[in-house]
């Protein structure tokens, strides 16, 4: 009998232990429903306390921030110096010492890790973020959860208000009730189509001749069939991207805009009314174009599985005989990065900074969107501890966001990195690629001249920027520190002249519940259409059969907001 | 009045006269002290997290937790994706188990028949090696190997031989995914699977082969009438032991599948993974419910295997 009882206990334990794998170790860090309700009701019923508490003194001794790969001063790239200088500068501004803890997450799983951090932690825990970066899509999903602090008042009273040149960016972030749960220090930026100049020359084409989709497609065909790399054999492709469409991340269409044209395969506002763009004729047409491109071999099949890193590395790799001629990627600084990477790989060395040409939006894009899509800006959010007081949150705003755009020392740290590590004003000279006579480049700067230094982890490249792009920032630096990279300047100018703002990302309860499955199904259907497994019409019919009711529900919820 | 006495037995059937636990602890205090850290470790690592099972009955999103009873299970049973994953898990796991076991037996018999020791050892080493490669590396190799792009070795070779006119996206075609998955599993695990069978083969009484020789049996007949029957008990045991683990299928599928073949490749663990880690704001309550269901089925399979093991081997597996 004892043995049977023991067996039963062991069996039960086994079931439980296996099931627990799907759970999180939440015991120590989560709040049970009752507690949550209680916290929320406290929040709702103690408005007088809140008002009183707002004036409380709160000394923020430690600031925990969570960032993605957009903070380029990584641990290997001089982050310690950045932290040290930030702490010194901000401590002076605040009048008390402050410690900055940076939790830089893996860029590719950022959203998932943030979700786990916010689920398993609570304000006050060592790992719980006081502030963090969110993409526009993430931000829309979290804005309604009650976890984020409404910083509308803090933003309105911020010192940097007088220097903001792009006030609409954050004004557009506010919801219909005027709440501002996220702060964008820069505008969003977007993608531009880059073409290898050598390949254009090899097939006898000019970027100025590419005005329409037909021109664009003929170029891709030439890159695929006319041996643009000159190796005497096939193997090249017209274009590569990280997916035929990136349906899990707004603005979804920006990696292959020429094929998508006016389509928007998600929920968006059309003439002020929310619609499901995936079921529209424009999406059917776009999928049909992509399918033709795949069938004709102008789209590299690796596109389906490639992430952005794989796509760009294949594009600029030394092995050009299996590469592609066209790549649509981020504007401005990335023009420099892509060019430098081609140089590192020894691709088209004779062209120098003219390796890449930027394609102006084709006519079909101009006729629909009006230009390349300028995505909604990533934002900084502050977590709300829901204690009925704004003191902690205001202190975080003051320490982090207010100083981030101070126009001077701290903004320089966020823009260019740490002084004498990433940039300097002291006289110096250095050489990159000293061992390679063809790539060797000398730099010399006089005392007092602002300049970027060699990258801490790669002495053969010059540092570019830190978190804030100086060209995209909504309140420019006032200390006159400008990195005068002509290529970056030209890239940013080209984009700003050819872009339009992206549609606002959708967010409602039903969409949050089904989003993962919806995106998975849409991506599957998209891939099936592109690879010729089914027609675009059949795919959309299948989509509507399965998701039609849910889609209608989402549209209804969005339009009711 | 007779008092029923329970007598513990050793594995050989000899009786053990048990003393009270307190006396045993006192007499063997040193051993119990050494066991204590292990006990604490097991409780903390294996048993304490089990408390999380209760969230199967909650909605658990971010920091909002609400008791919902069996709602998560109703939701789960109503989802086509869940049932696809469940049936795929059973189909893929059981087929994989049968195929790899059969392949291991075949290779073991083949190795057993090899008389050149150097060749035998060399071959064994070569076929063991893939087992030590991680699934991530294996997937990367085969994805590159089978790629549809101009870097894909298989497609380019078949095209150059005139076998194919157009490249095939092997891992993205539903009808091809499972056969390729099984082939990769055979390549990776067959060698390692032979270890236990070769041990069994080395224990076969040589007199049986001598008797077969006297009876004039050919080499194939000796394999069929001596070697294979001698292996069968081990084969059944291996199958039973592995049957208990059929629901634990994740890594090999995760690194090789893609959304175009979800219908034939998605298994419970990958389904839970996507629901938990690829959803912007996941409902941990739902994913825990799926995990709990999987564990219940897994536990049921363990009990069946235990029963089968008792019938065949005379002793259970738990």
Give the CATH number of the domain where residue A390 resides.
3.40.190.10
Q: Are residues A448 and A524 in the same domain?
A: no
What is the mean predicted confidence (pLDDT) over A100-123?
89
| Lowest pLDDT segment from A17-26, A128-137, A328-337, A382-391 | A17-26
Of A34 and A540, more confident:
A540
Q: How far is CA A209 from CA A215, A293, A365, A507, in A?
A: 7, 20, 16, 41
Domain of residue A457: give its range: 423-462
In a domain, A429, yes or no: yes
Q: How many CB atoms lie within 10 A of CB B313?
A: 13
Do A300 and B149 count as a contact with CB atoms less than 8 A apart?
yes
In a domain, A519, yes or no: yes
The 8-class DSSP code of residue A401 comes to: I
Residue A546 and residue A520 in contact, taking contact as beta carbons nearer than 8 Å: no
Of A14 and A288, more confident:
A288
Residues of B in contact with A322 (CB under 8 A): 149-151
In a domain, A6, yes or no: no
In a domain, A492, yes or no: no
Q: Which chain A residues in 19-38 lie under 8 Å from chain B, judged by CB atoms?
A: 19-27, 30-33, 36
Instruction: Determine the pLDDT at residue A440.
Output: 86
Q: Are residues A325 and A364 in the same domain?
A: yes
Residues of B in contact with A40 (CB under 8 A): none
| Lowest pLDDT segment from A51-60, A110-119, A158-167, A278-287 | A51-60
Q: Which chain A residues in 195-214 lie under 8 Å from chain B, judged by CB atoms?
A: none
The top-scoring range by mean pLDDT among A23-27, A225-229, B16-20 is: A225-229
Residue A160 and residue A407 in contact, taking contact as beta carbons nearer than 8 Å: yes
Nearest to B274 among A141, A235, A516 (CB): A516
A5 touching B (Cβ < 8 Å)? no
Do A25 and B65 count as a contact with CB atoms less than 8 A apart?
no
In a domain, A97, yes or no: yes
Question: How many distinct structural domains can be found in chain A?
Answer: 3
Strands B8-9, B15-16: pairing kind: antiparallel
Instruction: Determine the pLDDT at residue A44.
Output: 35
Residue A463 and residue A483 in contact, taking contact as beta carbons nearer than 8 Å: no
| Lowest pLDDT segment from A130-139, A482-491, A512-521, B307-316 | B307-316
Q: Are residues A115 and A175 in the same domain?
A: yes
Residue A65 and residue A400 in contact, taking contact as beta carbons nearer than 8 Å: yes
Q: Which of B56, B62, B66, B251 to mutate to test the interface with A (most CBs of A within 10 A)?
A: B62
Residue A362 confidence class, pLDDT cut points 50, 70, 90: very high
Residue A181 and residue A148 in contact, taking contact as beta carbons nearer than 8 Å: yes
Instruction: Determine the pLDDT at residue B251.
Output: 94
Instruction: Determine the pLDDT at residue B280.
Output: 79
pLDDT tens sequence across A467-489: 998 888 999 999 988 877 889 88
Residues of B in contact with A26 (CB under 8 A): 52, 55, 60, 284
**Domain range B73-313, CATH class:** mainly alpha
What is the mean predicted confidence (pLDDT) over A444-457?
92
Q: Judging by beta carbons within 10 Å of its beta carbon (0-12, 13-18, 19+), is residue A212 exposed, middle or buried?
A: middle
Of B9 and B53, more confident:
B53
Name the CA dihedral angle for B162, B166, B169, B170, rounded to a multiple of 10 degrees.
-30
ipTM comes to 0.70
Is the predicted pLDDT of residue A13 greater than 60, yes or no?
Answer: no
A531 touching B (Cβ < 8 Å)? yes
Do A20 and B291 count as a contact with CB atoms less than 8 A apart?
yes
Computed over every residue of chain A, the mean pLDDT equals: 87
Instruction: Determine the pLDDT at residue B240.
Output: 82
Chains A & B: contacts with CB separation below 8 Å: 169
Do A19 and B56 count as a contact with CB atoms less than 8 A apart?
yes
Q: Are residues A513 and A387 in the same domain?
A: no
Region of A462 (left: φ > 0; alpha: ψ -120 to 50; beta: rest) is beta
In a domain, A2, yes or no: no
Alpha carbon distance B312, B240 (integer Å): 10
Q: Are residues A124 and A255 in the same domain?
A: no
Q: Are residues A183 and A258 in the same domain?
A: no
Residues of B in contact with A18 (CB under 8 A): 291, 294-295, 298-299
Residue A150 confidence class, pLDDT cut points 50, 70, 90: very high
Residue A359 confidence class, pLDDT cut points 50, 70, 90: very high
Q: Are residues A209 and A351 in the same domain?
A: yes
Percent of the residues in chain A that have a pLDDT greater than 90, as a whole number: 64
Residue ending a domain, choose from A359, A391, A415 = A415
In a domain, A489, yes or no: no
Alpha carbon distance A456, B18 (integer Å): 69
Q: Are residues A217 and A93 in the same domain?
A: no
Instruction: Determine the pLDDT at residue A5.
Output: 52
Q: Are residues A356 and A263 in the same domain?
A: yes
Question: Can you say whether the dihedral through the CA atoms of A240, A244, A249, A253 is positive or negative?
Answer: positive
Q: Are residues A237 and A278 in the same domain?
A: yes
Is the predicted pLDDT of residue A180 greater than 80, yes or no?
Answer: yes
Q: Are residues A407 and A452 in the same domain?
A: no
As beta bridge partners, residue B61 has: B64, B283
Do A24 and B318 count as a contact with CB atoms less than 8 A apart?
no
Residue burial B189-213, b: 16+ Cβ < 10 Å; e: rest: bbbbbbebbbebbeeeeeeeeeebe
Nearest to A18 among B172, B280, B295 (CB): B295
A515 touching B (Cβ < 8 Å)? yes
Is the predicted pLDDT of residue A290 greater than 60, yes or no?
Answer: yes
Do A22 and B167 count as a contact with CB atoms less than 8 A apart?
no
Token representation of residue A308 = 């952005």
A339 touching B (Cβ < 8 Å)? no
Alpha carbon distance B142, B157 (integer Å): 15
Do A523 and B46 count as a contact with CB atoms less than 8 A apart?
no
Q: Which of B250, B271, B279, B301 to mutate to test the interface with A (most CBs of A within 10 A)?
A: B279
In a domain, A294, yes or no: yes
Q: Are residues A236 and A167 in the same domain?
A: no
A120 touching B (Cβ < 8 Å)? no
Domain boundaries, chain B: 73-313
H-type alpha helices, A464-508:
486-497
pLDDT tens sequence across A44-58: 333 333 333 445 678
**Which residue is it, tokens 């079931």?**
A15
Instruction: Determine the pLDDT at residue A438.
Output: 77
pLDDT tens sequence across B215-266: 999 999 999 999 999 998 888 888 888 887 888 899 999 999 988 899 999 9
């Amino acid at each position: 009998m004892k043995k049977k009882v023991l067996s039963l206990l062991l069996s039960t334990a086994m079931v439980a232990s296996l099931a627990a794998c799907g759970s999180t170790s939440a015991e120590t860090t989560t709040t049970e429903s009752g507690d949550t309700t209680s916290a929320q009701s406290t929040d709702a019923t103690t408005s007088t306390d809140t008002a009183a508490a707002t004036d409380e003194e709160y000394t923020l001794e430690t600031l925990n921030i969570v960032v993605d790969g957009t903070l380029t001063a990584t641990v290997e790239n001089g982050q310690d110096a950045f932290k040290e200088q930030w702490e010194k500068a901000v401590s002076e501004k605040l009048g008390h010492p402050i410690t900055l803890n940076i939790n830089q997450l893996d860029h590719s799983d950022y959203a998932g890790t943030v979700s786990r951090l916010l689920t398993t932690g609570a304000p006050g825990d060592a790992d719980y973020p006081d502030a963090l970066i969110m993409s526009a899509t993430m931000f829309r999903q979290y804005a309604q959860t009650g976890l984020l602090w409404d910083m509308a008042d803090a933003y309105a009273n911020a010192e940097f208000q007088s220097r903001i040149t792009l006030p609409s960016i954050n004004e557009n972030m506010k919801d219909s009730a005027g709440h501002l749960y996220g702060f964008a220090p820069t505008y969003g930026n977007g993608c531009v189509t880059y073409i290898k100049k050598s390949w254009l020359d090899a097939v006898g084409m000019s970027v100025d001749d590419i005005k329409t989709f037909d021109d664009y497609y003929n170029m891709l065909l030439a890159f695929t069939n006319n041996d643009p790399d000159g190796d005497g054999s096939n193997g090249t492709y017209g274009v590569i991207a990280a997916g035929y469409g990136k349906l899990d991340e707004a603005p979804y269409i920006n990696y292959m805009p020429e094929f998508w044209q006016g389509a928007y395969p998600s929920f968006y506002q059309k003439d002020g009314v929310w619609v499901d763009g995936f079921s529209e004729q424009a999406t059917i047409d776009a999928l049909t174009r992509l399918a033709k491109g795949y069938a004709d071999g102008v789209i590299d099949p690796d596109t389906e599985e490639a992430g952005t890193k794989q796509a760009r590395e294949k594009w600029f790799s030394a092995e050009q005989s299996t590469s592609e001629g066209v790549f649509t990627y981020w504007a401005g600084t990335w023009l420099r990065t892509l060019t430098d990477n081609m140089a590192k790989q020894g691709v088209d060395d004779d062209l120098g900074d003219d390796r890449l040409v930027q394609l102006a939006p084709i006519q079909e894009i101009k006729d629909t969107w009006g230009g390349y899509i300028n995505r909604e800006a990533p934002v900084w959010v502050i977590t709300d501890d829901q204690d009925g007081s704004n003191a902690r949150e205001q202190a975080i705003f003051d320490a982090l966001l207010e100083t981030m755009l101070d126009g001077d020392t701290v903004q320089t740290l966020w823009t260019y990195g740490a002084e004498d590590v990433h940039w300097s004003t002291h006289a110096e000279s250095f050489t990159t690629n000293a061992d390679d006579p063809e790539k060797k480049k000398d730099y010399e700067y006089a005392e007092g001249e602002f300049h970027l230094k060699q990258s801490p982890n790669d002495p053969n490249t010059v540092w570019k920027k830190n978190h804030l792009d100086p060209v995209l920032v909504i309140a420019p630096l006032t200390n006159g520190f400008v990195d005068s990279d002509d290529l970056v300047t030209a890239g940013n100018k080209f984009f700003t002249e050819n872009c339009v703002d992206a549609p606002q990302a959708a967010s409602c309860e039903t969409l949050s519940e089904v989003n993962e499955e919806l995106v998975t199904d849409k991506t599957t259907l998209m891939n099936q259409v592109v690879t010729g497994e089914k027609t675009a019409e059949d795919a959309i019919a299948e989509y509507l059969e399965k998701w039609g009711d849910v889609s209608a529900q989402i549209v209804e919820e969005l339009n009711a907001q | 009045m007779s008092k029923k006495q329970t007598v513990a037995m050793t594995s050989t059937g000899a009786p053990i006269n048990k003393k009270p636990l307190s006396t045993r602890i006192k007499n063997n205090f040193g051993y119990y002290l050494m066991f204590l850290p292990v006990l604490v470790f097991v409780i903390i690592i294996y048993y304490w997290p089990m408390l999380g099972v209760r969230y199967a009955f909650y909605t658990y999103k971010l920091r909002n937790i609400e008791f919902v009873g069996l709602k998560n299970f109703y939701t789960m049973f109503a989802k086509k994706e869940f049932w696809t994953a469940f049936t795929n898990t059973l189909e893929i796991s059981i087929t994989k188990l049968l195929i790899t076991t059969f392949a291991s037996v075949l290779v073991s018999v083949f190795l057993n028949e090899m008389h050149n020791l150097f060749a035998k050892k060399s071959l064994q080493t070569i076929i063991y090696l893939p087992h030590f490669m991680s699934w991530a590396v294996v997937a990367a190799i085969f994805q590159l190997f089978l790629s549809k792009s101009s870097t894909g070795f298989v497609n380019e070779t078949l095209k150059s031989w005139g076998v194919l006119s157009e490249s095939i996206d092997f891992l993205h075609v539903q009808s091809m995914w499972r056969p390729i998955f099984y082939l990769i599993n055979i390549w990776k695990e067959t060698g390692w699977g032979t270890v236990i069978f070769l041990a069994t083969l080395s224990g076969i009484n040589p007199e049986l082969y001598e008797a077969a020789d006297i009876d004039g049996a050919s080499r194939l007949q000796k394999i069929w009438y001596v070697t294979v029957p001698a292996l069968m008990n081990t084969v059944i045991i291996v199958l039973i032991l592995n049957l208990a683990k059929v629901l634990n299928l994740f890594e090999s599928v995760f690194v090789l599948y893609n959304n175009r073949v979800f219908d034939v490749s998605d298994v419970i663990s990958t389904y839970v993974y996507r629901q938990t880690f690829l959803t912007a704001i996941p409902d941990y309550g739902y994913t825990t419910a799926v995990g709990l269901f999987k564990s219940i089925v897994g536990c049921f399979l363990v009990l069946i295997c235990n029963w089968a093991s008792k019938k065949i081997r005379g002793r259970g597996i738990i």
